[in-house]
Every structure is written in structure tokens, then in C-alpha cells.
Structure 1
Amino acid sequence: MMIDLTHTLTTSAEAPMSIWPGHPTLEMKKVAAIPEQNANVTLISLGSHTGTHIDAPNHFIADGLTVDKYDLTKLVGRALVIDVRGKKEREIITWEDMQKWEGEMHEGVIVLICTGWSQYWGKENYEDHPFMDLDAAKKLMETGVRVIGCDTLSPDSICSPECQVHREILGAGGMIAENLRGIEQVLTLKDPIVSLLPLKLDSCDGSPIRAIAWSAGDILG
């Protein structure tokens, strides 16, 4: 079984998308259409951090790696779900909340922070998500983990202009996938594998992704 961890990119008013304040919104425009033309073609415009996406180190680190330079083998790997769905609006996720999974954290493991907040995607309170503190980010990096994902706008508080968690993880050469959906479904998989591959965008600080997860024993295709 394959699980889609990706929000739909849409301009529909009936399915509004959440977006970081000030970032570009999604635009989709038909530039060719059947039957007037012999094919359908759509012009797509969006920010590098729109929808379900991944942050490269260069997002906050001036000389950090961009998405086209990052080692793709680090973005497909064993998923470890940190289940903190009991957290409330703007509640801090501490290392104490994550510590019981420490024995499973090591280089190559992709940590997915499950707050359950993806249920509020497109709603006003999506911005009020729980968030990690700096100590948790530091200790997570000490385990050797370099790639994390979250079902929120950010692992930082939206009220924190310093974005210290971003700077800690990206500064360690890590990557951060944001706006994942349905991480809790990964808990149903045996030996889950997750893929967070970006587009090959030249010298870009981030990229939309199609995030998926499956059991290691499954044969894709």
C-alpha cells in the first residue's frame, strides 16, 4: 500500500490552501485547451515553499546546498513517526516529547513529526500549530538524523521571526519537509519508507514535492 502525504495544489475557492504569510500564492492558467488547440497546456506559478514542499539548507543558510545539489539518497529512507497528536494550539514540542524514540534515531532515518494538524489545512487555525523548540532540534541533530518532515506550516512557531529550528537543522546540512498530510497513516505501515524528492530546480532554496510512504516489503510498480 502506498500512502500519499501530499496536499493537492489547487486554486479552487472550495478547497483553500494554507500558505506562509507573504509567500506567493499558486496561479494556474490554461494557455492552450482542447478543442481550440490540439493539446491542453497549463502555466503554473508558485513559490518554492508552496504546498507540500521541502526546504534546502540554502533557504536560511547563505552558502547552504540548494535542492539540485542535495544528495537524493538522503531523501528516501526509513520513516520514524514521532506521534505528538496530543499537543494543543501553539504548544511546544520538547525533546522530552521525542526522547522515547531516541533509540531509533540515527543517520539515514527520516523523522516525521505527527501533530495531526493537517486536518486544519486551509483553515485559519492551521497557523496555530504546535512547534519544536531549539533544544529539541539540537538534540535531534545530535542523533545523526538530517531530514525531518512535519504536518504543519513549519517546525518553528509562525510567530518566531528568528526561525531557530530551521537554522539549526538546515545549518547542520539537513532538509525539512513541510505541510505533509496524514502522517498518522504511516503508523499503519510495517517498516515504512518515505520519499521526499524535490524538483531539480537550478540553485533553488526549496521545491514542491510529491511525498509518499510505503512498507519496505512492498514491491512498487
Structure 2
Amino acid sequence: MSVFTMSLVDLSHPFDPERMSIPPGLPQFISCPIATVPKDGFSMHTVSFGSHTGTHIDAPSHFIADGKTIDQIPLTALVGSAVVLDFTYKGPKEVITWADITKSPHADKIEPGIIVLFHTGWSKHWAADEQIYWDHPYLSPDVAEQLIARGISVIGIDCASPDKSLLEPPWNFPFHLAFLGRGGFIVENLTTLGELGPKVMVNLLPINLVGCDGAPVRGIAWK
């Protein structure tokens, strides 16, 4: 069966300047018309945003000086089978450990090359409550080490970060450093993971921004 005849699920938040969760101090999304159909015969906009705005992917160069940039990520790493792990029972600022993952009913589906998606349910707070969105559950560094050891190079999560979201210094990103530092890739701010089964096919390809440390993703899953 062709993928185009299957049911598609959009895993990305819209780029909507009126409804986005962007950390304080980071660039806001701006979309400005520079031509209109009534005046110019065509429509065109300039757009401006940070490389880690909305649903996006972190390349290793986000934290690793000589790490891969967005254009160096293999396309094959970002399209394929994914396992969805449910941690919606975790509360604000609760940690998800490797021991938690081993207790998941679908932990046995974690195998080399698969994409691991962490469903926290936190996407429901996107653009709704600017404080609680940053109080999401997070992953402990041992999760990064265990996943890399099992041949996992891509993870996604439906909240702002796999680390605690710290809105002021001192900054601390142990999961990012452990996972990106070992060549992994992280997709953040996913949504609608609750509509997926435990194992699906996904496409998490970003805009090909040469030399950049992050880029927006229009993620999709199909069943």
C-alpha cells in the first residue's frame, strides 16, 4: 500500500506568531508581508525565527563544537520505524530514567536503528500556559547512554527539551551533551503522539539549512 493512501498524522506545531511557545530572550517568529496580490499582483513574505523554534531538530553542532550540522545529518536516519513510549503519568519536572523505560510495555521494541519517541502529553500546554510548558518531564543522562549503546541515534519528545528547561543561568544540558556528543539527533516540541500506536513509520526531515545547528521539522507519521 502506498504511503499516500494511508492515514497521516501531523506531528508538528504550526508556525503561528499568535500561538507559539518560545523561551524568553530567544528570537520570536515573525512573518511580514512585503507584497500583496491587490497591490503587486503576487503575495510574498519575509520570515524570521531562531533555528530552534517550534517543532525542530537539534544537530550535534548545537552543543558539540565539531559536531554534524543540519545538512550533514543522513536523511535515512530521520525516516523509518519509530516506537512510542508513554510517560504521560509523569508530572511537572519529573525525571524519566532508564529504569522507567525498561518497565514500559514497549521497551522490547527498542532495537538498533529505530526512532524512539517519548510521549509525555506536554504538547497540550503548547502556547496555552507559558509557565507550565517549561515545567515538563525530562530524561536523565543515563537514558542517552543506554539508547546510544543500543544503536539508537534519533529521539523525539513532545515537550520543549529532553533536559530540564532552565529559563535563566546556570544552564545545564546533560542529556543533550550525552546524546548529541555521541552523534545522536534530538527532535523537540512534537505533538499528537497520543494519536499513534506503539510502533509507526515517521518522517522527521528538517529544512536543509547548511551549516546550522537546528532547523524546523514538519514531522509526520503514517499508519
Same fold (TM over 0.5): yes
Cross-structure match for 1:5: 11
Cross-structure match for 1:218: none
Q: Please tell me whether residue 103 in structure 1 is matched to residue 111 in structure 2.
A: no
User: How many residue pairs get matched?
Assistant: 210
C-alpha distance in 1 between matches for 2:112 and 2:31:
39
Q: Does the 8 Å CA contact 1:20/1:153 hold for their aligned counterparts?
A: no
Q: Please tell me whether residue 161 in structure 1 is matched to residue 171 in structure 2.
A: yes
* Structure 1 counterpart SS, 2:71: coil
Q: Give how far 1:43 is off.
A: 0.5
C-alpha distance in 1 between matches for 2:111 and 2:44:
44
Counterparts of 1:36-115 in structure 2, within 5 Å, are 36-99=39-102, 100=104, 101-115=106-120
Deviation per residue, 1:177-203 (Å, 9 max, x gap)? 00001111112x7x5101110111110
72-81 or 95-104, larger mean C-alpha shift? 95-104
C-alpha distance in 2 between matches for 1:86 and 1:60:
30
* Structure 2 counterpart SS, 1:194: strand
C-alpha distance in 2 between matches for 1:21 and 1:168:
25
Opposite residue 22 of structure 1, the aligned amino acid is G
C-alpha distance in 2 between matches for 1:147 and 1:107:
10
Opposite residue 15 of structure 2, the aligned amino acid is L
Deviation per residue, 1:108-138 (Å, 9 max, x gap)? 2010000000000012210000001111221
Q: Please tell me whether residue 22 in structure 1 is matched to residue 25 in structure 2.
A: yes
C-alpha distance in 1 between matches for 2:201 and 2:69:
24
Q: Does the 8 Å CA contact 1:34/1:40 hold for their aligned counterparts?
A: yes
Give ranges in structure 2 of 5+ residues lacking alignment. 1-6
Q: Please tell me whether residue 130 in structure 1 is matched to residue 137 in structure 2.
A: yes
Q: Please tell me whether residue 211 in structure 1 is matched to residue 219 in structure 2.
A: yes
* Structure 1 counterpart SS, 2:145: helix
Q: Please tell me whether residue 140 in structure 1 is matched to residue 150 in structure 2.
A: no
Same amino acid, percent of matched pairs: 44
C-alpha distance in 2 between matches for 1:20 and 1:141:
28
Q: Does the 8 Å CA contact 1:7/1:179 hold for their aligned counterparts?
A: yes
Q: Does the 8 Å CA contact 1:156/1:165 hold for their aligned counterparts?
A: yes
* Structure 2 counterpart SS, 1:35: helix
Runs of 4 or more consecutive aligned structure 1 residues displaced over 3 Å after TM superposition: none
Give ranges in structure 1 of 5+ residues lacking alignment. 216-221
* Structure 2 counterpart SS, 1:96: helix
C-alpha distance in 2 between matches for 1:148 and 1:6:
15
